[in-house]
Amino acid sequence: MLKITRRDFLKATGGLTVTAAVSTALSRPGRKLAQIHAAVPGYDMVAEEHIVPSVCLLCPSGCGMWGRVVDGRLVKLEGSPLHPINLGALCPKGQAAPELLYNPDRIQGPLRRVGERGAGQWEPINWETALSLVAQRLADVRDSGHPERFAFLYGETRGQMRGLISYFSQAIGSPNAVSHDSLNIEAGKLAHQLTQGIYDLLAYDLEKTNHVLSFGASLLEAGRSVQRFASGYAYMRRGRPYRGKVVIVDPRLGVSGAKADEWIPIRPGTDAALALGMAHVIISSGLVDRDFVENYAFGYEDWEDEAGVQHQGFKSLVLENYDPETTAQITGVPAGTIARLAGEFGTNRPSVAVMPGKGGLLNGSVNGLYTAMAIHALNALVGSLETPGGVLVQRYPTCPGWPELPADPVAAEGRQAERVDGAGSVFPLARHAYQAVPDRIREGYPVDVLFLYDANPMFECPNGGARWAEAFNQVDFIVSFSSFLDETAEHADLILPDHTFLERWQDDFIEGLGYPGVALRQPVVEPVHNTRNTGDVLIDLAHRLGGPVAAAFPWAGFPELLKWRLQDVGASWETLAELGLWIVPPDQVPNRGSDPWLSQVVGRDRQNTPQDGYFDFFSRELQCLLQTVDEATLQQLGIQARGDEVFLPHYEPVNYQGDEDEYPFVLNVVTLMSLGPYTANANMPTLQEISGMVVNETWDSWLEMSPESAHRLGLHDKDPVWVESPFGKARTKVRLVSGLRSDVVNLPYNQGHRAVGRWAKDRGVNGLELMGPGTEPLTGLAAFTNTRVKVYRAS
C-alpha cells in the first residue's frame, strides 16, 4: 500500500478519522471486513492497518481483546469474540485502555532518586547503568550470606509471571516473594483448601445452574471475574428455556442486587450464621445429597478417631446451634426467609453458593475463614461439587516444571529463613501476609533490597501510608517496576518502568470456566517509551549475577521462556499468537471416587492429611494445625470457639474496631466496575468520567448512606460530611442510597490518591486510610470489614 502522512489521510477522507469511520461501519450489522474497508473513504491509502489479539489487564477478569492498529498507532480496542470469558464484549475499562498506553503521566524511562525518599526528585539514567546498579545490589546481598534479605512484593500477576517471580526469588536465595492475595482472594483459597483440599478459587458453571446464592460476591460489578459472571448470568436468565434464580446476600444492594430476583440485606459479618441456618433447614428437611455426604465426605456425622475419642460432626453442630430462629437473631434475616431460601436452594438443583472472589466480606477477623468454609459447605450438602451446573475445580494448561535450581549452599540456607511477612510462622495458616510486611520490618526484620511489581501497598493496604513510609526508611535499596509514579514508587530508589500490557509478551491462564485455557498477551504496538518487560529484566539480572543464579535461567528473554512453558498446551506458538488463545473444554466431569476425582477434584493440595477424595466438613488439615494448641494460643489467634467446633464451619462474632455507641456504622470500602481495583485506572479520564454513575457522581468520592440514617442525623443528599473512625477521618459528600442497611456506610475504592498522575492525584478520599491496620492472627488476612465509623456534617 502507498505510504502517506496522517495529514494526507485526513485530507483524503475529509477529516474523518480512521477510528470514527471504522466505528461507523462496524455499527451496521452484518458488515464483513471487506465491506468495512470499502466504507472508509481513502482506506486503501492507509500505509498499515492490522488487528492484534491481546488480553486486558485492567481488572482480574482477563478479557480477550482485539486491537486495531493504524500506522503503528492503536486506535480502537474491541472484545475478542473467540475468548470464552467475554465472548466479544468489552467493559469500559478495556475500551478506555488506549488512555493507559498513551497516558502523558507514564514514566518514560529508568529513573534514579537524587533527593530524599518521597521528595519527588529524580534523574533519568540509561538501562545499562540501572541494571548494573541493581545487579550489584543483589550480588552484595548474596555475598553477605543473607540472601533472605531480598524481598519481592507483587500484585496481580498472571500466567508465567507469578511463577517467574517466585523462581527468581528462590534462585537468589529468598523465601520472600509476597503476594497481595491476603488483601483479597486468600480467604476463599484457604477455605477451599481446608474443606475440599484445593488451594485455589473455584469456578461456577452458571450456564447450567438453576439457583445462584451469592454471598457478597458483587457478581456484576467488581467480583473476581465480572465479565465471566455477566456472560454466564445472561445465559442463565435468557439463553435457555428455564430461567434460573439469583439471590444476593449483601448489606448493599449494588448493581448485582438490582439485577437479581431477591436481595437479602444481611447484618454485616453474619454470613456464616445465615449459611449454617440454611444448612440446618436442608439437613432437617432431608434435602441433602445423601450419596455425597455418606460416601464422599468426612465429618458430616459424629465420628470416632483411632484412639476411641468421640468427635462432633457438622450435622450435629448445625442442628444444635443454628436453627432459623437463632440464626435470625444473629443475621437480621427473618426465620421464615431463612427457611424459604434453604428450601429453594435444596430443591432447585443444581444450585451454587458463591463466595466473594476478592476482599470485603471475608477479610476482618477469623470469622472470614469460617464464613468461607460455611458457604462452601452448602455446595457440598446439595452435591454441587464437580457436576454440571455446580462448582468446578479450575484446571490449567499443562506446562513443563520449572528447572531444578543448581546447587547453591548460600541460596539453599536463605530459602529456609522465616518469611518477612510472617506467613507460616507468626500467622500459622497464612501463605501470604502482604499488609504485615511494614510492621515486621519496623520490628527488626532486615530487608536490604526490595522489589515492587504491580504493588502499591502505601495506597492499597488498610491504614498503610505512614507505616509503609517508616518501613521503607529501614530498607537500603528499593526498586519499583511501576509505569506511574504512584504513592509507593515515589519512595523507591530506582524505577525500572514496565511496558503496559498492550506493549508486552505475557500469557494469561483463563480462569472461571473450569476447563484449561491460555490466552496470549502480545505487543499490540511497539513500546511508546523507553520501557522494558519486567520478565525480560529479571532474566537479564539473573544473567548478570552469574554463577548458579545465571545457570538457573537458560532463556535469552521472557518470550523464549513463554514458548518453553507453553509448548504442551495443545497448539503451536504460531497458532496461539494468531488466535490469541487456546482452550481445551472437557469431554465430561469426573465421576465421584474415580481417579480424576482423587487427583484433581478433592484432596489434591492437602499437605498433612490423606488425599482420599473426601470433602472435609470437619477440617482435618485445621485439626492437624491446631489440635495441640493451648487456651492462650487460641485466644491469641482470636478464635472464640472451643473443642471440635474449632475445626468445623461456624459463626464467630466480629471484633469491631470502635465502640458501637460512638461509632454506629460499619464502614465498607466498595470496588466499582468503573475504576476497578488497579491504581493506574484512577488516572484514566474516561473512567473518572463514569466513576460513580450509579449515584450520578464523577471525578470525586462520596459516602453512601441510607435515607433512614441520614434523616436520623439531620443530613440531606449531597451534604458535606466527615467520616471518622478510631484511626482517622476524611471529608466527602453524602449520597442517599435506599438499597443499603441503616447500620452500614460505603466509600468507593480507588479515589484519594496522593500521586499517580494528573487525573488521579488529590481527588476524593481513600477509605482504607480510615481502617485498622491489623492482620488476622491465624490466616494473615488484612482487616477490611471490622472498622466502625461515625458521620457528621462538615462545616
Judge whether residue 45 has pLDDT over 60: no
574-602 pLDDT per residue, tens = 999 999 999 988 777 889 999 999 999 99
pLDDT at 32: 40
Predicted local distance difference test score (pLDDT) of residue 364: 65
* Residues 6 or more apart whose Cβ sits within 8 Å of residue 340: none
* DSSP-assigned letter for residue 600: I
Sequence-ordered list of residues with C-beta below 8 angstroms from that of 151, at least 6 positions apart, any chain: 174, 176, 177, 178, 420, 437, 447, 449, 450, 451
- Specify whether the CB–CB gap between 730 and 765 falls below 8 A: yes
Query: Residue 83 has what pLDDT?
Result: 92
Closest of 391, 355, 64, 334 to residue 215, by C-alpha: 355
The CATH architecture annotation of domain 111-185+399-583 reads 3-Layer(aba) Sandwich (3.40)
Q: What's the rounded Cα separation, in Å, for the pair 285 and 66?
A: 51
- Answer whether residue 736 shows pLDDT above 60: yes
Please tell me whether residue 667 adopts helix, strand or coil conformation: strand
Local confidence band at 171 (pLDDT 50, 70, 90 cut-offs): very high
Dihedral of CA 369/375/378/383: which sign?
negative
Q: What is the pLDDT of residues 440-478, one digit of tens each?
A: 999 999 999 999 999 999 999 998 889 999 999 999 999
Full DSSP string of 490-504: GG-SEE-PPPPTTSS
pLDDT for 22 beyond 80: no
Q: CB under 8 Å to 615, separation ≥6 — which residues? A: 195, 196, 292, 296, 297, 298, 380, 385, 602
Give CA 522 to chain center in angstroms. 22
Chain CA centroid to CA 533, Å: 22
Q: What is the mean pLDDT of residues 413-425?
A: 96
Amino acid at 144: S
Please check the confidence at residue 784 and state whether its pLDDT lies above 70: yes
Q: What is the mean pLDDT of residues 654-677?
A: 90
- Mean predicted confidence (pLDDT) in 757-772: 94
> What percent of the chain shows pLDDT beyond 70?
93
Separation CA 228–CA 206 (nearest Å):
9
Using alpha carbons, select from 398, 387, 400, 388 the residue that is nearest to residue 601. 387
Task: Kindly tell me if the per-residue pLDDT of 552 is higher than 50.
Answer: yes
pLDDT at 743 over 60: yes
Q: Tell me: pLDDT of 91 over 60.
A: yes
Least confident of 23-37, 335-349, 648-662: 23-37
Average pLDDT over residues 170-197: 94
What per-residue confidence (pLDDT) applies to 199? Answer: 95
Burial label for 652, CB within 10 Å (0-12, 13-18, 19+), is buried
State percent of the chain over pLDDT 90: 77
pLDDT, position 214: 94
Task: Yes or no: say if 606 and 621 are a contact pair by the CB < 8 Å rule.
Answer: yes
Q: How confident is the model at residue 59 (pLDDT cuts 50, 70, 90)?
A: confident
Nearest one of 359, 361, 286 to 319, comparing CA atoms: 286
pLDDT of amino acid 516: 93
For position 360, what pLDDT does the model report? 55
User: Is the full-model pTM beyond 0.75?
Assistant: yes
Give the mean model confidence (pLDDT) for residues 231-247: 89
**The residue count for the chain:** 795
Q: What are the grid coordinates assigned to 504, written together? A: 508486552
Q: How far apart are CA 416 and CA 394, in angstroms?
A: 31
Q: What is the pLDDT averaged over residues 286-315?
A: 96
**Angstrom distance (rounded) from CA 116 to CA 122:** 10
| pLDDT exceeds cutoff 60 at 24 | no
| Mean pLDDT value of segment 467-492 | 96
pLDDT bucket at 632, cuts 50 / 70 / 90: very high
Rounded Cα gap, residues 521 and 178, in angstroms = 24
Query: Which amino acid appears at position 705 of this protein?
Result: M
Q: Please give the residue that has the higher pLDDT: either 47 or 563.
A: 563
| 264-277 pLDDT, tens digit each | 999 999 999 999 99
What is the per-residue pLDDT for 677?
85
Mean pLDDT of 136-154: 97
Return the axis-axis angle of helices 314-321 and 271-284, rounded to nearest 10°. 100
Cα torsion angle, 679, 685, 686, 691, sign: positive
**64-70: strand order across its sheet:** 49-55, 64-70, 73-79
How high does pLDDT run on average in the chain?
90
Cα distances (Å, whole numbers) of residue 168 to 70, 400, 411, 678 = 38, 17, 11, 24
Mean pLDDT of 215-223: 83
Instruction: Report how far residue 458's alpha carbon sits from residue 424's, in angstroms, rounded to the nearest whole number.
Output: 24
Whether residue 9 is predicted with pLDDT greater than 70 in this model: the reply is no
Q: What is the mean pLDDT of residues 75-81?
A: 93
Q: Indicate the residue type of 393.
A: V
What is the domain class of 196-394+619-647 according to CATH?
alpha beta
CATH topology for 665-793 is Barwin-like endoglucanases (2.40.40)
Q: What is the mean pLDDT of residues 406-431?
A: 95
Helix (H, G, I), strand (E, B) or coil at 489: helix
- Going from N- to C-terminal start, the domains of the chain cover 6-39, 111-185+399-583, 196-394+619-647, 665-793
Q: What is the pLDDT averaged over residues 521-549?
A: 97
For residue 33, name the pLDDT band (cuts at 50, 70, 90).
very low
Residues in contact with 745: Cβ distance below 8 Å, sequence separation at least 6, in sequence order: 665, 666, 667, 668, 703, 704, 705, 709, 723, 789, 791
Span 68-87, mean pLDDT?
Answer: 92
Task: Please give the distance of CA 772 from its chain centroid, rounded to a whole number.
Answer: 21
